[in-house]
Amino acid sequence: MAQRSKATFQKRERERDKQMKQRDKEARRLEAKKAKAEREPINSNEDPDIAGIKPGPQPLPEQWQWAARVDGK
């Protein structure tokens, strides 16, 4: 008999944990939906991968600046 009540208690714990997880997940979904609605729309005329890049030679990244000084360019 003791095994039966322990199993029932464990099942009740699992079910409660599952319900809490579902509530947390729903809250995260609502937050994400709200954040998405508040976010500014992306400019459809410009590709976000190349935004801010100008045609022609690009300046060297910061970590490469020392190489340009050593070569004298």
Say if residues 46 and 53 touch (Cβ distance below 8 Å).
no
Note whether residue 48 is domain-resident. no
* Burial letters 34-51, b for 16+ CB under 10 A, else e: eeeeeeeeeeeeeeeeee
Domain extent at residue 27: 1-32
pLDDT in tens, 10-39: 999 999 999 999 999 999 999 999 998 888
Give residue-wise pLDDT tens across range 5-18.
778 889 999 999 99
Q: What is the pLDDT of residue 46?
A: 75
The answer to whether the beta carbons of residues 14 and 6 sit under 8 Å apart is: no
Say if 3 falls within a structural domain: yes
Q: Is residue 1 part of a domain?
A: yes
Phi then psi for 23, rounded to 5 degrees? -65, -45
- Let me know if residue 2 belongs to a domain: yes
Task: Determine, yes or no, domain membership for 49.
Answer: no
Task: Using alpha carbons only, give the angle 64, 61, 51 rounded to the nearest 5 degrees.
Answer: 165
pTM of the model: 0.48
